[in-house]
Amino acid sequence: MLIVYISLTGQTRKFVKKLNMDLLELNPANPFIEINQPFIIVTPTYDGEVKEWLEDFLETGQNKEFAKGIAGGGNLNFGPLFVSTAKALSATYDIPILHQFEFQGTDEDVRILKKAVNDLDNNK
């Protein structure tokens, strides 16, 4: 499964590198990349712009048809806003949340998301 991600300060990049899967880092200056294969999104949480970049990406070509899941990274200190970017995209596009984690994730976070992706692969 292809992992499409954004990372502004490097935490999400560190997390996805531990997954050992194909990676595509979106460049916020040009999120209009067309993907013709199933993928999942891994996104950090910020106000505003990150969600807009991912919306631009999902609205490009047939991308939203290929989006199989979302994992959200964030910081629990944000309380009710924890991983709110992933939750908002999930609600807008009806894409399931596969996992939520803090910062660059733990070994357990890696294990859980890899299992969720494998389960998706086996059900396609």
Ligand X SMILES: Cc1cc2nc3c(=O)[nH]c(=O)nc-3n(C[C@H](O)[C@H](O)[C@H](O)COP(=O)(O)O)c2cc1C
Identify which of residues 23 and 61 has a Cβ nearer to ligand X in the complex: 23
Q: Is residue 99 classed as helix, strand or coil in its secondary structure?
A: strand
Residue numbers of the site for ligand X (CB under 6 A)? 7-13, 44-46, 73-75, 78, 81-84, 103
Identify which of residues 46 and 93 has a Cβ nearer to ligand X in the complex: 46
CA distance 42 to 57: 13
Least separation in angstroms between residue 1's CB and ligand X is 19
Identify which of residues 8 and 91 has a Cβ nearer to ligand X in the complex: 8
CA distance 40 to 68: 5
Least separation in angstroms between residue 101's CB and ligand X is 8
Q: Is the dihedral of CA 108, 114, 118, 120 positive or negative?
A: positive
